[in-house]
Amino acid sequence: MDKIVALCKRRGFIFQSSEIYGGLNGFWDYGPLGVELKRNVKEAWWRDMITNHDEFSTPPGAPSAFSMVGLDCSLIMHPQVWKCSGHYDLFHDMMSDCRETKRRFRFDQIRGRWVHVEKDARGIHRYFIMTDADTPEAGLEDTVVKACKFFDVRRKDAEAALTWQSPGLVGITPKDNLAHVVTPGATQPGTMTEPREFNLMFKTTIGALGGAEDAAFLRPETAQGMFVNFKNVLDTQRVRVPFGIAQMGKSFRNEITPRNFTFRSREFEQMEMEFFCHPDQSRAWYQYWRDRRYQWYLSHGLGSDRLRLRDHAADELSHYSVGTADVEYAFPFCEPGEFGELEGVAHRGDFDLRSHMEGKLVRDASGCLAVETGADGKPRHPGSGKDLVYFDDQSRERYVPHVIEPAAGADRATLAFLCESYHEDAQPDEKGALQPRVVLKLHPRLSPIKVAVLPLVKKDGMPELGLELYRNFKRAGIPSYFDQQAAIGKRYRRQDEIGTPWCITVDGQSLQDQTVTLRDRDSLEQVRMPVNRVIDEIAARLRG
């Protein structure tokens, strides 16, 4: 991971935000190459969802043909949106602070991870393992391994202590035993505060006077824009259920512990789609989108052994969801066997449209969703009161559509593509000596630059011919780069490192017979072809 972060900085993919002032934790800037890479990721998603979508044919595996439209909503929405969506009451994490080091931790990240080490009278180490009250026996071994790694304690020593403690491990529930926990960097145990709630929404105020009633929030997800515009889209577009509304754009979450490079940031971009369908067909649509979204990552170059589709267990589901699956990737910073979420595909039932009609919903005693009421019997967070029921003019049926939501992160996808494509090898230079090479084997459609034009030497008309070719690529809308500095091998390596799939070399022969060589980044194969065919060739390969 360190090498990837270093490459991102060295070659201008990703910089820390406000770096000259010491940086701002959880915020990132995309440099000249990074902005192109992320744009290409978003463009690939938009093309798949909207531009290339054919509403008159049924895609393989889909229950029927369907329509897709796009949207671009404001970042700040009416505060009632977040009250009805549940974010105002429920979008929080538990956090604990260390009084000594002043560090702050997300409680679910520390639970089960840390131990208090002490020596008994015989000089034997004892390990108190902080676990969840209901951590299964099988999960404890994993906890021991993580804890030993964290404290740099040999597993062998822990074994001795555990045997001594037999018959089993000491499972300590967090609430009563924070006093025994040593946080990293602290000298004393017991410096952790009790876990408390922390809402992740960024608060702001609207207008100059800015009283409490003017409080608003930066959106923590793009999804709500699609729900509150459901009727607008229906009334203005010629769409019928089933159809989807897609949006990509910035979201903000005041994450307690931003970490792992851009993986967990406080400002990030999402690519979300809300798919509205008939309740009877919703399970089939859920299955369709779950599989299709997984395939999208595979087809853009994420290796299947590091990518997985994981169905949530029943107790992991949100209170409204009847099914959720995550597309996950084994990032280099993940522990062995662990994965990081790239995208969640959720069956959300009619929760969202009903909440925006009737008011915030909660499960009642019988397990049904009902409007939450206050002590006065009125809705605690009233909905818009607008009719968001769909009327099917062919079947004459009225119903609240069910929603399937594939919610992806553009930054996490970009990071996964960077990690997957990073390779190191060695290639011979002009004199035959092996030179180390870093190469980003990005899918050509994602590469920031598609083709580099390289005159072999800076004389004899080669730069002129090269420049003309470079300009013709630009005119054809193919991002290209012209480089005539340094030995040709070095120039190839410069392009390999940023993932340019093809290099074109203009040499002495080019001036005589109007041919150039086309070099492939991955196979290293070089083919000669007429200069007037090379643009069509690259365009065809990009389409391929």
Q: Which residues are at the interface with ligand ATP (CB under 6 A)? A: 221, 253, 255, 264-265, 268, 270, 341-344, 407-409, 411-412
Nearer residue to ligand ATP within complex by CB, 42 or 253: 253
How far apart are CB 269 and ligand ATP at their closest, in Å?
Answer: 8
Nearest Cα neighbor of 505 from 471, 465, 455, 539 is 455
Tokens for 536, please give them: 């069509």
How far apart are CB 324 and ligand ATP at their closest, in Å?
Answer: 9
Nearest 5°: the CA angle 370, 375, 381 is 50
How far apart are CB 350 and ligand ATP at their closest, in Å?
Answer: 19
How far apart are CB 436 and ligand ATP at their closest, in Å?
Answer: 32
Nearer residue to ligand ATP within complex by CB, 253 or 491: 253
Nearest Cα neighbor of 353 from 459, 275, 467 is 275
Nearer residue to ligand ATP within complex by CB, 414 or 505: 414
How far apart are CB 372 and ligand ATP at their closest, in Å?
Answer: 21
* Pairwise CA distance, residues 8 & 451, whole Å: 20
Nearer residue to ligand ATP within complex by CB, 219 or 412: 412
The dihedrals phi and psi of 402, each to the nearest 5 degrees, come to -90, 155
Are 189 and 182 in contact by the 8 Å Cβ rule? The answer is yes
How far apart are CB 446 and ligand ATP at their closest, in Å?
Answer: 17
Are 245 and 274 in contact by the 8 Å Cβ rule? The answer is yes
Nearer residue to ligand ATP within complex by CB, 183 or 265: 265
Q: Residue 471 carries which side chain, given as an amino acid letter?
A: R
Nearer residue to ligand ATP within complex by CB, 344 or 401: 344
Nearer residue to ligand ATP within complex by CB, 276 or 331: 331
How far apart are CB 31 and ligand ATP at their closest, in Å?
Answer: 18
Q: With 0-12 CB in 10 A as exposed, 13-18 as middle and 19+ as buried, what is 131?
A: buried
Nearest 5°: the CA angle 373, 376, 380 is 30
Are 508 and 488 in contact by the 8 Å Cβ rule? The answer is no
Residue facing ligand ATP at closest CB distance:
409
- Backbone φ/ψ region at 249: left (φ over 0), alpha (ψ -120 to 50), beta: left
